[in-house]
Amino acid sequence: MIALTDSLAAAVARHLGAAMGDHPRVEALSRLTAGAANETWSFDVIGMLPSGEEQRFGCILRRSPGIGDEGKSDTNLGKAGEAQVQRAARDAGVAAAEVLFILDAEDDLGDGYVMARLEGETLPRRILRDAEYAELRTHLARDCGRTLAQLHSVDPARLPTLTTLGAAEQIERYGEIYRAFGQPVPVFDLALRWLADHRQDPRRLTLVHGDFRNGNLMVGPEGIRAVMDWELAHLGDPMEDLGWLCVTSWRFGEIDHPVGGFGQREDLFAGYEAAGGGNVNPEAVRYWEVFGTLKWGIMCMIMTHSHLSGATRSVEKAAIGRRVSETELDLLNLLT
């Protein structure tokens, strides 16, 4: 960890240069998330202002050190691409942390980027239950609608090259993954068939966040402070983001509030339309909610099989396979 501290201090000095003074120090380095292919670290940069006054600046490092393939996503965006998307979204008005710099080969720290550290709540159960957020919960669904409208309005010319993932490609991909496990989940076959039969052609192609849900939102009592985890960003049907936000798994027990466990669909749609996102097609949102529920179920299978294959042995990954049945019940409730 001392080595990482030193390398980070050198990277900060190279990229941020004069802004942080001549010899910026790195302190309070701590690992926030554990994962073989994705690491998130928090640290402070202490720099010297020209006045001789010290200033402390909170930072977050996200990187993939280049080991394991667990984090390989559909999008293969890479951490640099993720940072570029986050930057473009922030420039378009989406609440997101400021990207300070993207790591390069000379930093020798892997694929990653450093962003400003923001303060706020990210734990879904606190957002849904703490008294501090009672007022927030009355308008958070509408706020999500506004944020998604901004996110979907990002000019594609300002984005890195993104994979286009429509419904057809995603059904094909997740269907193949599921069938390759050789483990019969008849509800998944029923859902795959339903999704193929009811496919809705997108009205337009936009930037899609890909994981916009309760759990990836940092909030304060006043509203959304940052949309996090941009690694699944792609081009696709904007309704995908609205549907994923409504998947029952992301309601954390508050199932009568379809939007993230905190709000109603009408408020989400109204916020989206009022912010210039265009008319919401409720049928398409529902379609993507079905797809999202299936996708989460198959993701649970992927994680469990990563344990079973020996790729990443973990009691958590072993246990998550038993959450597949949750998505089966939710799918049966949705398929009519």
- Please tell me whether residue 149 binds another protein under the rule CB under 8 A: no
Tokens in use for 180? 């390759």
Report the distance separating Cα 211 and Cα 140, nearest Å.
17
Kindly report each contact of residues 125-133 with a partner whose C-beta sits within 8 Å and lies 24 or more positions away, as own/partner.
125/252, 127/214, 127/217, 127/219, 127/262, 128/214, 128/252, 128/253, 128/254, 128/261, 128/262, 132/221, 133/219, 133/221
User: Between 237 and 254, whose beta carbon lies closer to another protein?
Assistant: 254
Residue identified by tokens 């989206």 is: 272
- Please tell me whether residue 180 binds another protein under the rule CB under 8 A: no
Rounded to a whole number of angstroms, the minimum distance from the CB of residue 261 to another protein is: 10
- Please tell me whether residue 325 binds another protein under the rule CB under 8 A: yes
User: Between 72 and 313, whose beta carbon lies closer to another protein?
Assistant: 313
- Please tell me whether residue 322 binds another protein under the rule CB under 8 A: yes
Tokens in use for 323? 């959450």
User: Between 56 and 126, whose beta carbon lies closer to another protein?
Assistant: 126
- Please tell me whether residue 193 binds another protein under the rule CB under 8 A: yes
- Please tell me whether residue 130 binds another protein under the rule CB under 8 A: no
User: Between 210 and 297, whose beta carbon lies closer to another protein?
Assistant: 297
Q: Are 314 and 307 in contact (CB under 8 A)?
A: yes
**Do the strands 54-64 and 111-116 form a parallel or antiparallel pair, or are they unpaired?**
antiparallel
Q: Are 37 and 70 in contact (CB under 8 A)?
A: yes
- Please tell me whether residue 70 binds another protein under the rule CB under 8 A: no
- Please tell me whether residue 333 binds another protein under the rule CB under 8 A: yes
Interior/surface letters 195-213, b for 16+ CB within 10 angstroms, e for the rest? beeeebebeeebbbbbbbb
How many residues form the binding site for another protein (CB under 8 A)? 30
Rounded to a whole number of angstroms, the minimum distance from the CB of residue 176 to another protein is: 13
Stretch near another protein under the rule CB under 8 A, chosen from 1-9, 224-232, 235-243, 313-321: 313-321
- Please tell me whether residue 323 binds another protein under the rule CB under 8 A: yes
- Please tell me whether residue 319 binds another protein under the rule CB under 8 A: yes
Residue identified by tokens 């995908």 is: 240
User: Between 57 and 181, whose beta carbon lies closer to another protein?
Assistant: 181
Rounded to a whole number of angstroms, the minimum distance from the CB of residue 320 to another protein is: 9
Q: Is 51 exposed, middle or buried (0-12, 13-18, 19+ CB in 10 A)?
A: exposed
- Please tell me whether residue 186 binds another protein under the rule CB under 8 A: yes
Report the distance separating Cα 158 and Cα 91, nearest Å.
10
Tokens in use for 215? 């759990």
Contacts of 123 (CB under 8 A, 6+ apart): none
Rounded to a whole number of angstroms, the minimum distance from the CB of residue 271 to another protein is: 25
Could you tell me which of 273, 268, 271 has the C-alpha nearest to residue 286? Answer: 268
- Please tell me whether residue 184 binds another protein under the rule CB under 8 A: yes
Single-letter amino acid, residue 315: V
Please pick, from the candidates 77, 187, 195, 280, the single residue that binds another protein as defined by CB under 8 A: 187
User: Between 228 and 247, whose beta carbon lies closer to another protein?
Assistant: 247
- Please tell me whether residue 107 binds another protein under the rule CB under 8 A: no
- Please tell me whether residue 255 binds another protein under the rule CB under 8 A: yes
Which residue ranges make up the site for another protein (CB under 8 A)?
34, 184-187, 189-190, 193-194, 248, 251, 253-255, 314-316, 318-319, 322-323, 325-326, 328-330, 332-333, 335-336
